[in-house]
Amino acid sequence: MDREVCYGDLGCFKTETVRSFSRPIVLLPDEPDKIGTRFFLYTRQNQLKSDEHELSRKVVDSFSTSNFNSKVPTKFIIHGFTHSAHEPWVQSMKDELLKHDDMNVIAVDWRQGAGFPYTQATANIRVVAMEAVRLIEFMQTEYPAVKAGDIHFIGHSLGAHASGEVGTKIKGIGRISGLDPAEPYFEGAVEDIRLERRDAEFVDIIHSDGSAFLGSLGMGYRSSVGHVDFYPNGGGDQPGCDKSVGSKLINSASAGLSKGTDALKDTFACSHQRAYEYYIESINFECPFRAYPCKSYDDFKAAKCLSCGDGQCSRMGYHADQSEARGDFYVMTNQKGEAPHCSYHYSMKVQAGVMDGKAYGEVDISVGGDNGTSFGPIPMTAKETYVETNTVLTRLVVTLKKLTDLSKVTVTYKKDDCFTCFVYTDFLRLQKVEINSGEDQESTAYCGKNTSVAKDQVREFSKAERFNSC
C-alpha cells in the first residue's frame, strides 16, 4: 500500500515515487526533528571545528552574522550511513578545500537519521536533501549574487544520492562529486531517487567498492552514472582491503572487539571509504591522479590504454572538472593500500626473442638514472612463460615517485629449473626496451640490437638518442 507524509515547507513524501525492484521494503522518512539535519559553515576565517558556525534558514541573521562570503564558491559535504559532519574525513576534506582556495565549506550533518536500520536511512536522505534545498533558496534570497552554478556538492555513499536529490530540485547546480554512491537500494532504481548525470552541470563519480553486494558485500554503485566515472583499481576491492565476505566479517569483528566501533566500520567499509581518501588527497597533492579511458580494466592492466591524445584523459578527484574528457576512466593507486595513494603509470615493453626454439623462464628489468634514481626489479613475465622470436612482453607499472632522468635499463633472464628445461635455450636476445610515461606522455627507448642475454646474466643497456633509432 502506498503511503504519504508531509512535513511543512519541506513538502510531501510518497512511497510510490521511490518504489522499485531494487527496494523490496520502502519506508517513509522520519520527521525532520528526529533526523536533525544541521549545516556547519567553515571558511578561512573560521576553519577549526571549534569555530564552526551553524547556518539555519529559520534564523533570520544566521548568514549575516557568519563569515559566509557570497563572492566565493560554496561547497557542501554530505556524509553517508552511520557517519556525521564531525568525522575525521569530513574535517580533513574541509581543511584541504580551504587550503586550496577561498570558499564557503558547509558540512551537512544528519547523524541522527543516518543510523540503523539502513532502510530507514535511505528514506531519510529525502528529507536531508529538501533541507539543503530550502537552505540554498534562503541563501539565494539573502544573497542574490549566489548562483546555482557556483555550488558544488560532495557526497559519500548515501550522501551522494542525497546530493543528487538536491540537483533534481534546484536546476543548474554546478557540480556534484559522488564518492562511491551507495549500491543497496539504489542500483537499478529509478533515476529520480539516485544520483545521475542530469542532476548537475558536471557530475563526477569515484567507484571504489563496486563488487556485487550479494556476492562480496560491496557497498558501492557499479554502473556509470556521471559525466565522468572513475574506476580506481577496477572500481571493486581496493588494495589493502579485505575481499572475501568471510575475511570482511571476521576482521571487522576482531577490529571492533579490540579497537571499538570506529575500527569495525573502517575495516568492514575499507574499500567503500577509500573513495573519499582518494578525493581528499587529490585536492592539493602534486601527483595528478591521471586517469585513462579504456574498454575494460583488463585492457588497462595490460598497458593498452596510457595514451592521452586529443585531451582524452582526465584527473580523478577534485580536479576532474579541468578536463573536457567524458566517459569511464581507469587509474591504479599505491598497491600497498596506504597513503599516499596517487601513483605514476608506466608501460614497460621488452622486445625479445631467441635464435632457435624457445626460451622458458622469467625476464626482469630494472631502470636507473644519472641522478641515482632507480626502480626494480620489475618482473616482465610469470613463471612458465615462453619467449619465442619477436616476443613482446608488456607490463603496466605504478610508482609512488616519478621516474626521471632514466639513462639505462638492466635486463635479467632467469631460465626456469625443470626436468625438461634442457630443451629450451640458455640465451635470450634483446631487441629493444620501451618505457612510456602515462603522466608525461613521453617515451624512451633502450637499444638491445639483438644482444644476447645468458641465463642468470644481468645486461645493461643505454638510452637511445632518438626513440626510433633502435
DSSP assignment letter at 291:
E
| Radius of gyration of the CA atoms of the chain, in A | 26
Positions marked catalytic: 157, 180, 272
Is the sign of the CA dihedral 155, 83, 55, 105 positive or negative? negative
DSSP assignment letter at 145:
T
DSSP 3-state of 302: coil
Ramachandran region, residue 172 (left: φ > 0; alpha: ψ -120 to 50; beta: rest): left
Residues 106, 56: Cα–Cα separation, whole Å: 11
Residues whose CB falls within 8 Å of the CB of residue 269, separated by 6 or more in sequence, listed in order: 209, 219
All three cell numbers of 79, joined, read 556524509
| Amino acid (one-letter) located at 284 | N
Q: Are strands 175-179 and 202-206 parallel, antiparallel or unpaired?
A: parallel
Peptide bond into 377 cis (omega under 30): yes
Residues 253, 268: Cα–Cα separation, whole Å: 9
All three cell numbers of 273, joined, read 571509504
Q: Is the distance from CB of 291 to CB of 306 less than 8 angstroms?
A: no
Residues 256, 407: Cα–Cα separation, whole Å: 50
